[in-house]
Amino acid sequence: MPLDSEAESLVRVVALKNALDHGGKAQLDAVMSKLLGSRPDLRSSIKSLIPDIKALVASVNAMSAADQKKTLEEIAPGELVAKKQVEQKSPLPPLEGAEHGKVVTRFPPEPNGYPHIGHAKAAIIDEEYARMYGGKLILRFDDTNPLKEKLEYYEAIAEGLEWLGVKPDIVKNTSDDIAILHDYGKRLVNSGGAYVCTCSQDRVRDLRAKGLACECRADGVDVAGRLEKMFAGSYEQNEAIIRFKGDMADPNTAMRDPALFRIIEGDHPKVGKKVRVWPTYDFAAPLEDSLDGVTHAMRTKEYELRNALYFAILDRLGLRKPAMIEFSRLEFEGMPVSKRKIRPLIDSGTIKSWDDPRLPTLSAFKRRGFVPEAIRKFVLSLGLTLAETKPPFEALEAFNRKIIDPRCMRLYFVRDPVEVRVEGAKEMQVTLKNHPTDPSLGSRKVRVADRLFMAGDDAQNLKEGDELRLIELYNIKVAGLERQDGRVRAVRAVMGGDEIRQSMPKVQWIAKNDIVEFQVMIPKALYAGEEYNPDSLEVAKGGVESFAAALAPGAQVQFVRFGFCRIDRSNTAILTHR
């Protein structure tokens, strides 16, 4: 069934608004619930309308933020006024020297791994500033090491940003500019600002530590000849590097003639084998920032000592200097946020995939049930601090919970099920609400007779004579407990009274005829101190209602008294958080 024209324009406006509120990406769920809120008459036919709604949302999501804004202004002028007020409330401090319409920021990931929440922090801050000042965001793949970059990673980064709702205005690779970078490198050598060093790596390291120069830096060396040899391919890998002429005695060791180019033999995913001389991060970053028109370059605080070098290189080449802004690296306790820490676990097979729910990668957060809006809110709540304190993971969970709580169905999962036999219980059908306060999430009907299951932990605490409430069903009174090896294996009960007392345990249950085997993976701290934690993935085995077992992967639910979970695959969910 096609959407009527009124519904269609409503969907378009709602999607545009939702997209602008969430970094350019409207969420189908949110759009549908807004639509049904205004047009309850469409509820019965909603299934058949989904393809049309999906297509409209996709077309909105394909637009740039600027186009979304323009379109919304045209079709619903009032909506944007409200949006503007929200925009001014960004928790980020103003950017020094920023002029409206002229700000250019960039996010420069190296495509040598999957994006993680630290990248999300950097990308979101870069994007927020670009939007705050009506400027531009560049996504620049900093791909200057052919041995590390892989196409898979370029794609994973682009996908991760798309999921986050970060929409770059320009996408480019540092390797696109390799000829220009070579040119500037040669210029720097020819003007005496850099030189070709043929010392061994060990010697370079040793002299750098001692603060001494090597012979390659002295007058009289045939620098032009060496430079030519380097680009002609006459040196092997590690036989020659181009070094910045800094100050070998500088207390800032970053200034002690750092490498600007090195020879790396490798098959680069974008340029193949034809390039052998590759710039280092220290050379590529300032050049690219300057040449791309970046006005405000942001990076994490660990690069602080390299700022002097960044500006010295641009000075010596007479190039424009962007402003440099630093923020703290995002880390969580027990969850190292760095490719350097994650990669060895993947390479050794300790962890099978980059979306393992214990990892801080964006694909893992997605798989676990974190939503991009929560990540954005969390990142912005941290602001631009320089402090090296780790924010509590619970803070991120709290943002996520607030967003998913209203839209998650409440269903029952019983861990380590224990059978309960209720003497005298009649077979009946009960209707269970899927959400305590939102009837639009519907209800489900369950047939229950005199046998059901409760969670093992709940059963262990019972004593004969205890009265408890089976949530939304009735009270039962424990008449007997069967034990095996000291653990309660079955509960015999009789019907209890009608009153629901405060003090009474209230437990979830599943009818015996309705239970389906099910497991929930519970991610725990990946690291204990500096060591990998072998107990980092707990598996809770048990059962769910058949209704829950039929949900498709991707569905998010709250298992009552257990936690929010995202269905991962058949009969398996992952705990998002409690």
We find the least distance from the C-beta atom of residue 96 to Mg ion, in angstroms, to be 26
Residue 460 binds which entry of Mg ion, ligand ATP, none, CB below 5-8 Å type-dependent: none
We find the least distance from the C-beta atom of residue 472 to Mg ion, in angstroms, to be 53
Q: Does 337 bind ligand ATP (CB under 6 A)?
A: yes
Q: Does 106 bind ligand ATP (CB under 6 A)?
A: no
Answer for which of 33, 338, 533, 572 binds ligand ATP (CB under 6 A) is 338
List, as one string, the DSSP characters of 251-303.
Answer: SSGGGSS-EEEEE--S-BTTTBTS--EEE-HHHHHHHHHHHTT-SEEEEEGGG
* Identity of the residue, 83 or 148, whose beta carbon is nearer to ligand ATP in the bound complex: 148
Q: Which of 424, 412, 486 is nearest to 453 (CA)?
A: 412
Residue 69 binds which entry of ligand ATP, Mg ion, none, CB below 5-8 Å type-dependent: none
Distance of CA 510 to the CA centre of its chain: 35
Residues in touch with Mg ion (CB under 5 A): 110
Separation between Cα atoms, residue 435 and residue 328, nearest integer Å: 40
* Identity of the residue, 330 or 459, whose beta carbon is nearer to ligand ATP in the bound complex: 330
Residue 506 binds which entry of ligand ATP, Mg ion, none, CB below 5-8 Å type-dependent: none
Residue 362 binds which entry of Mg ion, ligand ATP, none, CB below 5-8 Å type-dependent: none
The residues in 248-307 that bind ligand ATP, with binding defined as CB under 6 A, are 299-300
Separation between Cα atoms, residue 118 and residue 157, nearest integer Å: 12
We find the least distance from the C-beta atom of residue 172 to ligand ATP, in angstroms, to be 15
Applying CB under 6 A, which part among 25-33, 233-241, 335-343, 386-394 lies near ligand ATP?
Answer: 335-343
Residue 108 binds which entry of Mg ion, ligand ATP, none, CB below 5-8 Å type-dependent: ligand ATP
**In terms of DSSP bridges, do strands 527-528 and 531-532 run parallel, antiparallel, or are they unpaired?**
antiparallel
488 token code pair: 């309660």
We find the least distance from the C-beta atom of residue 112 to Mg ion, in angstroms, to be 7
Q: Does 391 bind ligand ATP (CB under 6 A)?
A: no
Residue 343 binds which entry of ligand ATP, Mg ion, none, CB below 5-8 Å type-dependent: none
Residue 523 binds which entry of ligand ATP, Mg ion, none, CB below 5-8 Å type-dependent: none
Residue 340 binds which entry of ligand ATP, Mg ion, none, CB below 5-8 Å type-dependent: ligand ATP
We find the least distance from the C-beta atom of residue 356 to ligand ATP, in angstroms, to be 16
We find the least distance from the C-beta atom of residue 50 to Mg ion, in angstroms, to be 42
The position carrying tokens 């970059």 is 149
204 token code pair: 């370079």
Separation between Cα atoms, residue 537 and residue 542, nearest integer Å: 16
Interface with ligand ATP (CB under 6 A), residue total 15
Q: Which of 564, 164, 523 is nearest to 378 (CA)?
A: 164
Q: Does 108 bind ligand ATP (CB under 6 A)?
A: yes
Sheet containing strand 467-470, strands side by side: 506-507, 467-470, 475-484, 487-495, 418-423, 451-454, 509-511
Strands (E), 405-466: 409-411, 413-415, 418-423, 428-433, 443-448, 451-454
Residue nearest to ligand ATP (CB): 118
We find the least distance from the C-beta atom of residue 567 to Mg ion, in angstroms, to be 35
Residue nearest to Mg ion (CB): 110
* Identity of the residue, 177 or 545, whose beta carbon is nearer to ligand ATP in the bound complex: 177
Applying CB under 6 A, which part among 107-115, 212-220, 246-254, 504-512 lies near ligand ATP?
Answer: 107-115
Separation between Cα atoms, residue 118 and residue 128, nearest integer Å: 15
**Residue pair 438/428 in contact by the 8 Å Cβ criterion:** no
Residue 121 binds which entry of ligand ATP, Mg ion, none, CB below 5-8 Å type-dependent: ligand ATP
We find the least distance from the C-beta atom of residue 562 to ligand ATP, in angstroms, to be 31
Answer for which of 23, 24, 118, 246 binds ligand ATP (CB under 6 A) is 118
234 token code pair: 């006459």
We find the least distance from the C-beta atom of residue 110 to Mg ion, in angstroms, to be 5
Answer for which of 69, 121, 276, 415 binds ligand ATP (CB under 6 A) is 121
Q: Which of 561, 450, 448 is nearest to 514 (CA)?
A: 448
Answer for which of 11, 30, 103, 122 binds ligand ATP (CB under 6 A) is 122
* Identity of the residue, 19 or 330, whose beta carbon is nearer to ligand ATP in the bound complex: 330
Between helix 372-382 and helix 151-164 the angle, nearest 10°, is 80
Answer for which of 8, 21, 110, 416 binds ligand ATP (CB under 6 A) is 110
3-state secondary structure of 480: strand
**In terms of DSSP bridges, do strands 418-423 and 241-244 run parallel, antiparallel, or are they unpaired?**
unpaired
The position carrying tokens 């045939």 is 222
We find the least distance from the C-beta atom of residue 403 to ligand ATP, in angstroms, to be 22
HEC profile of 491-547:
EEEEECCCCCCCCCCEECEEEHHHEEEEEEEEECCCEECCEECCCCEEEEEEEEEHH
Q: Any idea how long the chain is? A: 578
Q: Does 330 bind ligand ATP (CB under 6 A)?
A: yes
* Identity of the residue, 311 or 474, whose beta carbon is nearer to ligand ATP in the bound complex: 311
**Residue pair 354/95 in contact by the 8 Å Cβ criterion:** no
Answer for which of 329, 433, 477, 492 binds ligand ATP (CB under 6 A) is 329
The residues in 521-560 that bind ligand ATP, with binding defined as CB under 6 A, are none
* Identity of the residue, 126 or 545, whose beta carbon is nearer to ligand ATP in the bound complex: 126
Core vs surface per residue 349-364: b (16+ CB within 10 A) or e: eebeebbbbbbbbbbb
The residues in 218-257 that bind ligand ATP, with binding defined as CB under 6 A, are none
The position carrying tokens 């020879």 is 263
Separation between Cα atoms, residue 137 and residue 15, nearest integer Å: 23
Cα dist. 11→24, 35, 48, 86, 401 in Å? 15, 6, 15, 21, 26
Separation between Cα atoms, residue 463 and residue 355, nearest integer Å: 44
Residue 337 binds which entry of Mg ion, ligand ATP, none, CB below 5-8 Å type-dependent: ligand ATP
* Identity of the residue, 338 or 546, whose beta carbon is nearer to ligand ATP in the bound complex: 338
Residues that bind ligand ATP (CB under 6 A): 108-110, 118-119, 121-122, 299-300, 329-330, 337-340
